[in-house]
Structure 1
C-alpha cells in the first residue's frame, strides 16, 4: 500500500509518491492501493484541478483509506470536501485540512529511506 501526495509545487513528504498532475494521480488510484491520499486543488495555470481527482475517486469507486486536503485554496477545499462527504463510503476517513506532523513523522519513519 502506498501514500500519494498530489501537488505541482510543494515538496513531497518522505514516504509518499508524488503526483504533480491530476492525470498522474488518477493513474496511481487506478493501479495501486492507497492508504493516505493528500490533495492540492490548484495544479498550475490552465491545468485540471484536484477536483478532477475527487470526481475520479467517486466514479471509479477506488478509494484510499484516508484523504487529507492540504490545499491553500479555501474555495477548492470546500468544493472537494463537500463532494467527497456526500459520496465516500463509511470506511474512508476524510480530513478537511493537511496531515498532522505526527502522521508525516510516522510515515517517514516507516519508509526507511
Structure 2
C-alpha cells in the first residue's frame, strides 16, 4: 500500500503532495484505510465541539497513528493539549515510541519557507 501524507485544517492550504481534509471524520477515515507517513493536525476546526484534540483522543482509543505526527495549530493551549495527549500515549505504551511527534505552530496566512521544508523533507 502506498503511503500518503495528510494535512487536516479548515483554513490553511496544504503543502504540495498532501491529502487535504477539513474534518476529524475525514481524517479518521484515512487513518482507518491508509498507511499514513505524515499527519499534520490543527486544533480549531469549523465545529466548536469536534476539534483536533477529539481526533487525537480517537486516534489513541483506536490505536491509529501515522509514522510522523505534527501539531501545527496556532492555538497554543489546544496544540499543547494534543501534543501532550500523544506523548502520554507513548509513555503509556499505547502509541509506539518510534513515532515522531512534533509541535510546530503555523501562522494562519503564511507558511515560512524554513517551516515548509519540514513538510517537504518528510513527504
- Residue 8 of structure 1: aligned partner: 10
CA RMSD of aligned residues (A): 1.8
Q: Do structure 1's residue 67 and structure 2's residue 36 form an aligned pair?
A: no
CA shift at 1:97, angstroms? 1.0
- Residue 101 of structure 2: aligned partner: 94
- Residue 119 of structure 2: aligned partner: 104
TM-score (structure 1 length as normaliser)? 0.86
Structure 2: runs of 5 or more not aligned: 90-94, 107-114
Alpha-carbon distance in 2 for matches of 1:83, 1:107: 22
Alpha-carbon distance in 1 for matches of 2:71, 2:30: 17
Q: Give runs of ≥4 in structure 1 deviating > 4 Å.
A: none
Counting matched residue pairs gives: 108
Query: Cα distance 1:91–1:11, how it changes in 2: closer, same or farther (>3 A)?
Result: same
TM-score (structure 2 length as normaliser)? 0.80
Alpha-carbon distance in 2 for matches of 1:53, 1:12: 18
Is the 2:74–2:105 Cα contact (8 Å) retained in structure 1?
A: no
